């Protein structure tokens, strides 16, 4: 417990909670950078057509968001697998 004089302030996240938060956060940063770089070079409104469609802003809005979550999911998968393999190898001693 957290005593009033602050002497016993033991607090740590459990390893599982730490892993989840670190995986979510680091992959979030990576996905943000990927999204910026990717859409700087690719205009989602011009994919598959030569003329800019009138609804371009709406297409871009949706594409940026979906693109971001797609990148985030893929980085979460990569980071989770990395965390899982590192943790399980430590447990089994391989």
Residues that bind other proteins (CB under 8 A): 1-2, 4-7, 9-15, 17-18, 21-22, 25-26, 36-37, 39-41, 43, 52, 56-58, 60-62, 64-65
What is the spatial distance between Cα 87 and Cα 23, in angstroms, rounded to a whole number?
13
Closer by beta carbon to other proteins, 52 or else 86: 52
Least separation in angstroms between residue 30's CB and other proteins is 12
59 and 53 Cβ atoms separated by less than 8 Å: yes
Least separation in angstroms between residue 4's CB and other proteins is 6
What is the spatial distance between Cα 70 and Cα 78, in angstroms, rounded to a whole number?
13
Closer by beta carbon to other proteins, 39 or else 74: 39
In whole angstroms, how far apart are CA 38 and each of 5, 26, 34, 35, 50?
Answer: 52, 18, 6, 5, 19
Closer by beta carbon to other proteins, 6 or else 48: 6
Closer by beta carbon to other proteins, 57 or else 93: 57
What is the spatial distance between Cα 90 and Cα 49, in angstroms, rounded to a whole number?
51
């Amino acid at each position: 417990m957290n005593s009033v004089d602050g002497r016993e302030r033991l607090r740590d996240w459990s390893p599982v909670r730490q892993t989840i938060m670190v995986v979510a956060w680091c992959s979030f940063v990576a996905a943000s950078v990927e999204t910026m770089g990717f859409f700087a070079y690719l205009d989602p409104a011009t994919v598959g057509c030569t003329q800019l469609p009138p609804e371009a802003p709406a297409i871009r809005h949706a594409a940026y968001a979906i693109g971001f979550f797609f990148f985030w999911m893929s980085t979460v998968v990569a980071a989770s697998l990395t965390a899982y393999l590192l943790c399980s190898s430590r447990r089994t001693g391989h």
